[in-house]
Amino acid sequence: MSIRTASSDQHRIVGTPIALHRVPLGNARLLFTPEEVAQALAIGRSKVYDLLRNDELSSIRIGGSRRILVSALHEFVDRLRSNQSAQRQ
């Protein structure tokens, strides 16, 4: 799972997902269900809901459905990586 970024400098702000620039995305996904996030992270669905409930992973609601932005998923993984690096030092 990856964020597609614009390759053209005219459409790009470093580190900003291409979706924020209104450039055509093709087949890139922006939102995932908790079940899809659980599968991507190789954890249980209940653990994903725990992370959402504890504000460790952010989400949005669309009607009665909860969706996780791909950028929120990347931020969560980056935070885990940073925390683990800091603990090793």
For the entire predicted model, the pTM comes to 0.66
**Token representation of residue 25:** 């995305």
Residue 72 has pLDDT above 80, yes or no: yes
In order of their start, the domains of the chain are: 30-88 (1.10.1660)
pLDDT tens profile 9-51: 444 444 444 444 555 556 788 999 999 999 999 999 999 999 9
Instruction: Give the model's pLDDT for residue 32.
Output: 96
pLDDT band at 2 (very low <50, low <70, confident <90, very high): very low
3-state SS record for 5-58: CCCCHHHCCCCCCHHHHCCCCCCCCCEECHHHHHHHHCCCHHHHHHHHHCCCCC
